[in-house]
Structure 1
């Protein structure tokens, strides 16, 4: 059995105690590259918390000795690499993974874990501007609703593609002025997908990644260089600014000499943008 602790993950989580918030991508990459130690019973079954009547929480520790110290009820600690974590996710329906290091911790919702398990550890993803009707509908909905979330500063709407597998979906990167995990970003997604944009089977999946405006300033600057549809919210003035190539690039001139079509109205998902 592997006994080597996941030092990279432990270091990232421990730094949180000193006020340094690591990028979510870095933590997830370290998790799937180095794995964690999972508590098991005397029969070898994986232990979950809190009980069978609630959505299961899987516990993970960056060090086997740490796990034994913090959870003496466990019969042992089993190292789980990316493949074993993926297997647990698929077979148990785990809702949350809680990982502990010596001085820090991280909570991963099941959807984030499943996405990363699907695409593999350290999977490269490419972000591009999207004209998909769902992407445009999300952008327009953000213009209408972003003022309701004072902690949200900017949202980027992107088409995400993993070159290794070719899978694509839409992703919202949400910059917030609050600690992560962000309740404001989660609530914003609930409003967008619950009240504004109704997704059907034929529509692309939509994911969200929250970023802290201070801790992830470098990642935010990089997003600005991708030329994505962006909705910015200035809380002091209440102004909402939309940045989009759609508005920068003029429409092609009609061949019959008629006036170019107006862009003041566009119908998406039963809603009209004015």
Structure 2
């Protein structure tokens, strides 16, 4: 018996095509609650979308008939649940999962899928401002190096706590003006972790890249969390920092300039 189509996910993706951007949490929850249909060959091997410059993309469809219509060269469509998707991710090194509905689509970066497949359907994380010295060091390293990455627009530094098991770690959300998976965000993380050394037993640091257009709602939500934020204007080369650390009017700017006039939240420009 062929499993039912993932109607909920299809509805969310179709609404994206109509200009309505559902919260990424809702799309991910629907994906992991209902699964997707993955194309396979006659031998039962998964079919990937090849790319000469990037790791392959795993294809998924919200129902089997749609998959057969859009990818007629596939021998069949196999329904994959959470465990099966996670198994494919771990064994193949896939960069992203691309899911199609009748009128919409979504691309899920590999790291997002790994986190959700680890913590399960409906997993929620709580984002908080962090005074961890590592978080401060990452913020300061961002101020020094972000100009090297023109596609990076904003970076938020957060302490993440997963509500399912109270596990905590640091996470950088990186807003980019380029398609995902983001080479700029990946390279930025490499640079930062090359400058900021993690001590033995220290909390891990994760990264989630967001597209400034596709994930506009999620980006707006991040701005409401009061996190340390580094913004980059590639045109002017200006870098600005928002931090509760600077809410004290006597606090100096990140580059040693005179304090700014009192304001609800202070921005510190760097030219």
| TMscore range, shorter length | 0.7 to 0.9
Give 1 or 2 for the bigger CA radius of gyration: 1
Q: Give the Å deviation of 1:118.
A: 0.3
Alpha-carbon contact 2:49-2:58 (below 8 Å) kept: no
CA distance in 1, matches of 2:108, 2:211: 16
* Alignment partner, residue 268 of structure 1: none
Instruction: Kindly provide the CA deviation profile for residues 78-126 of structure 1, in whole angstroms up to 9, marking residues without a partner as x.
Output: 2222233234444x34424332333444443433221110011221100
Aligned residues: 250
2:266 maps to what in 1? none
Contact between 2:47 and 2:74, CA under 8 Å: does it hold in 1? no
Residues 156 and 172, structure 2, Cα contact 8 Å, conserved in 1: yes
- Cα distance in 2 for partners of 1:212, 1:86 equals 24
User: Which one is further off, 121-130 or 218-227?
Assistant: 218-227
The aligned residue for residue 146 of structure 2 is 146
Aligned runs of 1:247-262 on 2, under 5 Å? Answer: 247-248=246-247
Distance change in 2, residues 1:177/1:60 (3 Å): closer
The corresponding residue for 2:244 is 245
With 133-142 and 68-77 compared, the bigger mean Cα shift is at: 68-77
- Partner residue in 2 for 1:259: none
Q: Shift of residue 208 of structure 1?
A: 1.9
CA shift in 2, pair 1:111/1:201, >3 Å: farther
Secondary structure class of the residue paired with 2:209: strand
CA change 1:41–1:162 in 2 (3 A) is same
Matched, 1:82 2:78: no
Unaligned runs of 5+ in 1: 252-262, 266-274
**Deviation of the 1:50 alpha carbon:** 6.0
RMSD between aligned alpha carbons?
3.3
Distance 1:67 1:182 in 2: 26
TM-score (norm 1): 0.75
Matches within 5 A, 1:213-252: 213-248=212-247
Q: Equivalences for 1:54-203 in 2 at 5 Å?
A: 57-90=57-90, 92-96=91-95, 97-193=97-193, 195-199=194-198, 201-203=200-202
Is the 2:21–2:217 contact (alpha carbons within 8 Å) kept by the matching residues of 1?
A: no
Q: Distance in 2 between matches of 1:59 and 1:140?
A: 39
Change (3 A) 1:87 1:149: closer
Equivalent residues in 2 for 1:17-36 (5 A)? Answer: 17=17, 23-36=23-36
The answer (yes or no) to whether the contact 1:38–1:46 under 8 Å persists in 2 is: no
The alpha-carbon distance between structure 1 residues 229 and 62, as it changes in their structure 2 partners (threshold 3 A), is same
Q: Residues of 2 paired with 1:126 and 1:186: CA distance?
A: 23
User: How big is the shift at 1:20?
Assistant: 5.7
Q: Match of 1:154, SS?
A: strand
Q: Distance in 2 between matches of 1:238 and 1:154?
A: 13
Look up the SS of the partner of 2:220 in the other structure. helix
Tell me the TM-score normalized by structure 2: 0.75
3-state SS of paired residue (1:192): helix
Q: Choose 182-191 or 16-25, whichever is displaced more.
A: 16-25
Contact 1:40 1:74 in 2 (8 A): yes
Residue 198 of structure 1 aligns to a residue in which SS?
coil
Which residue does the alignment assign to 2:269? none
